[in-house]
Structure 1
């Protein structure tokens, strides 16, 4: 069971890292013909980037919020999984159950964020020839990895439960 717990820790770290990179980078959408790419915080053309400020749609604010909530839940999952090697409970709370719940919450927050972005910008990609970028792909990958982390964490054994 230690191997599964170690794998869960690794998956948790990788998922969290992918979500952080997705949030921080500006390649959620790209148009290589016009050399334009955009992220959640700024848009760039020919390496000249400008921040959005508060002038973005509510959908972008929602995507940002759910990615940030997913990051917090992912961090709780990672810390809990790392702590599960030496402790089984924090007070009356099982660390295993906390890590499992946090992993699934992080995954679902990521899914909501990525689905919102997909729904808002899928028409733009069809009509204007832009493509979803690699940052967008990292966000979807983190969703899948958080779900795998939750399943791995669920199947880690604990002698005191």
Structure 2
């Protein structure tokens, strides 16, 4: 077994897990009351409800996170498959995984940057008053997935080539 392949596979799966948890949870924004919001629902202490309408940047964030999820899934699948076969036709699976990881990292970064920049306008409506919300753990997981995908791509690039191919 090649240790870098194992490390890379673990990083790919961890990155994908963090992204999926971030995308599916409702703790992107936390308010001082018992209220929190995600990309899909708004919740209070008793129940959650779908948004009737969302700003366009929510759709942009969702779309880029879905692209990151797909690219991260391709990267993870390619790495897992690379334990059985080194190539997919003429293309090395480690190259497929590295490109997928870098693409997932880029898409996650765009999604998180758009959301962060747009929410900065709503954070303090009156400069002399405290912020109306804070970012929750889901938001943090989204940001954490971005460098982990880039690290996965970098580690994958250092996996030695299969000498039999």
User: Structure 2 length as normaliser, TM-score?
Assistant: 0.91
Task: Give the one of 134, 141, 145 matched to 1:142.
Answer: 145
Q: Find the counterpart in structure 1 of residue 4 from structure 2.
A: 4
1:125 and 1:132 in contact (8 A); partners too: no
Normalising by structure 1, report the TM-score.
Answer: 0.94
CA distance in 2, matches of 1:95, 1:4: 14
2:49 partner SS: strand
Give 5+ residue unaligned stretches, structure 1: none
- For the 8 Å contact 1:67–1:110, the answer to whether it is kept is yes
Structure 1 partner of 2:84: 86
**Distance in 2 separating the partners of 1:40 and 1:103:** 23
Partner in structure 2 of residue 96 of structure 1: 94
Aligned to 1:154: 157
The CA deviation at 1:143 is 0.5
CA–CA distance in structure 1, aligned partners of residues 162 and 11 of structure 2: 23
In 2, distance between residues paired with 1:10 and 1:95?
Answer: 16
Give, in whole Å, the separation in 2 of the partners of 1:83 and 1:27.
34
Deviations 1:48-96 (A, max 9, x none): 211015x111110010010011000000000111111221111122211
Instruction: Indicate which of 65, 68, 73 corresponds to 1:67.
Output: 65
Match of 1:110 in 2: 108
**Count of aligned residue pairs for this structure pair:** 159
